[in-house]
Structure 1
């Protein structure tokens, strides 16, 4: 299969360039100015991007239109639940999946909610399939954690920002103690009972799984940085709503940010500083920025619109495109298969009739791992 004559988004070329794309066995085999073949899709005048990716979503675990029955985001059994995994709550038949794919979104990181200090393990999934296990791209994509208003008001015991930070520290200290006990048992070749939550925390402490920290207000953003520095964590700042006020401080570090959702009212004190300018300001300060719909807070199937609004408010166009493709793939650790149009990567390809940020653009065709997706 060859897609011919399209304006192909190649980040190494600085934007859209006319190229042909050859697909074979679900992968991109070749990208070149001219490729001959029998089966062709004429994309002349069209724009071609990688499949879009949202680095922070609750799709398939907070099911659209299902209310409490389909909401498995938060488990209120405690403030610290590192043992939980979204994989065990994913519902592949969420109505939002097919609509998101038709809008060009082919992958997302599904996360627990933000009402616990440690909510559980997030997984990066392809938006295709009928069995959760088959949808996985990276099972241990992140440990979802939270600071600020949500865990502070969830009645888990401590009800202050001091208490929330203490709970996080204590959990990591318990994990360090667990690690020591496990190592001692291994040295002595003694039986050691594994704890699932502690095992997940060891992945964090060993920097094999990042922490995605829900933070809105500037003080919580800085607390997240402080905790990451104390324990040498691989940190990603989620929401970062008040990031502009501490942008110079954030620029000292290399922690990526996932900005959004933007298209909602300022529904609580923490979001009073909400503006679509945030993504651009942080990007221009040198931070790696992703843009999120935070589905089902705002619909995932309008992800390109949110990125376009960030560009309208000052973000560079190429950075806006990276924020919903390349950057999420890198942040989620799936850049070896998704996020760009490159030889050897999955053929997740979106063909648009106009520039993706045009107000009247339409998705003409989506390919998921080389398979054409029905527009119905």
Structure 2
């Protein structure tokens, strides 16, 4: 048996502009593969940054000379389904808060990659808690607040960190997009929806003109409309932060009307519309389990929602979301743990922060489980990942040990 303490024969990789893929072996008393399989003990062999072999310790051949990490428990690297880290900073001061531009209600042209800071302290904080991949960018608060990206939680430059430079457009319906937040913000729900519908119609007209070769000669390029054309063409989903049941229905109607790919985010009332969401085939990036449920939009939020959506076969993942005040981010590991007393099984809780987000974000061929060919991303623990007293002992990304801090 492997000792309950961790034996590390591996020096911490230098955090630089990029991380060279590394060869190593992770041996765990209990290895959770992320696809429902577990091995006790289990082994993951990582070569050139990718999983080469995984399985029970007595059936996996470990190449000689490979560096070795031994831990009580290992899981796939965790994935944060939606965040603003890298744009929102830990200091909570104007100079490190780029997640929301308040000058306009419609700004699909804003690129998260132009503001993302891979060296932000909050990115490191998530990395130290086993989170290896984040879907982050412009957060909710205006009708369309900008673009999102997918990044690994390591790398000293944007190019080294980013996996998908543009994943989606971030939109908001309901209270958060109204009440005059910006000079052009609407004051009511019907006005905000009318503004969004009008912008989608303009994008459709722009697309038709572009397809007919008219835009270059008849007018200048419009970066915002071009981003919305990508939504109408199905290249980018529209991630809509929405909580109240009637606002969720509005988002579903808009998606049907314009034929775009919709991802619901937040969705406090999702458990009231399980049949409707299931019929629409729309995934949900559910709110943090322990979010601050203040305000009328959140009055129906429930600790049981994630498990109920999973039981209904709806694609769902947990997000760290957006905190208006410090610490500015949550840790999805803890949010997933809170689903266990409220109906979720261990495998479901792990799915919410591994394969669940990987599938919704379209990156399940790279991350989400420890299977041959996938990225060598591993979270290391000294016990059950969802136990309150368990510590994260380190994180491996692309076969490189990027954290040894015990959290």
Q: TM-score range by the shorter chain?
A: over 0.9
Distance between the aligned counterparts of 1:166 and 1:295, measured in 2? 26
Measured against aligned partners, the alpha-carbon deviations of 1:222-279 in whole angstroms (never above 9, x if no partner) come to 1111111111111110011111122222221211111112323322211111221111
Distance between the aligned counterparts of 2:349 and 2:142, measured in 1? 31
Q: Does 1:243 align with 2:267?
A: no
The unaligned stretches of length 5 or more in structure 1 are: none
Distance between the aligned counterparts of 1:164 and 1:149, measured in 2? 10
Corresponding position of 1:358? 387
TM-score, structure 1 normalization: 0.93
**Correspondence list, 1:13-28, <5 A:** 13-15=36-38, 18-28=41-51
Corresponding position of 1:4? 27
Measured against aligned partners, the alpha-carbon deviations of 1:158-192 in whole angstroms (never above 9, x if no partner) come to 31111111111111111110011111117x99686
Corresponding position of 2:340? 311
Q: Is the 8 A contact 2:111 2:147 kept in 1?
A: yes
Corresponding position of 1:344? 373
Corresponding position of 2:119? 93
Root-mean-square deviation (CA, aligned residues, Å) is 2.0
Distance between the aligned counterparts of 1:176 and 1:195, measured in 2? 13
Corresponding position of 1:161? 189
Measured against aligned partners, the alpha-carbon deviations of 1:48-70 in whole angstroms (never above 9, x if no partner) come to 11111111101011101232221
Distance between the aligned counterparts of 1:4 and 1:35, measured in 2? 12
Say how many residue pairs are matched.
374
Change (3 A) 1:126 1:42: closer
Change (3 A) 1:157 1:97: closer
TM-score, structure 2 normalization: 0.87
Change (3 A) 1:40 1:129: closer
Q: Is the 8 A contact 1:15 1:318 kept in 2?
A: no
**Correspondence list, 1:178-327, <5 A:** 178-185=206-213, 193-296=220-323, 300=329, 302-327=331-356
Shift of 1:343: 0.8
Select between 115-124 and 92-101 the one with higher mean Cα deviation: 92-101
Q: Is the 8 A contact 2:376 2:399 kept in 1?
A: yes
Distance between the aligned counterparts of 2:38 and 2:348, measured in 1? 10
Q: Is the 8 A contact 1:101 1:301 kept in 2?
A: no
Distance between the aligned counterparts of 2:391 and 2:39, measured in 1? 17
Deviation beyond 6 Å, 4+ runs, structure 1: none
Shift of 1:201: 1.1
Shift of 1:361: 1.2
Corresponding position of 1:35? 61
Corresponding position of 1:151? 177
Shift of 1:105: 0.6
Shift of 1:93: 2.4
Distance between the aligned counterparts of 1:189 and 1:281, measured in 2? 50
The unaligned stretches of length 5 or more in structure 2 are: 1-23
Change (3 A) 1:281 1:189: closer
Change (3 A) 1:174 1:130: same
Distance between the aligned counterparts of 1:66 and 1:277, measured in 2? 31
Change (3 A) 1:326 1:299: farther
2:396 alignment partner, SS class: strand
Change (3 A) 1:189 1:281: closer
Measured against aligned partners, the alpha-carbon deviations of 1:282-319 in whole angstroms (never above 9, x if no partner) come to 11111111111114456656321110101221123212
1:83 alignment partner, SS class: coil
1:290 alignment partner, SS class: strand
Shift of 1:18: 3.6
| Aligned with 2:167 (options 137, 141, 154) | 141
Q: Is the 8 A contact 2:47 2:399 kept in 1?
A: yes
Corresponding position of 1:76? 102
Corresponding position of 1:105? 131
Change (3 A) 1:13 1:229: same
2:212 alignment partner, SS class: helix
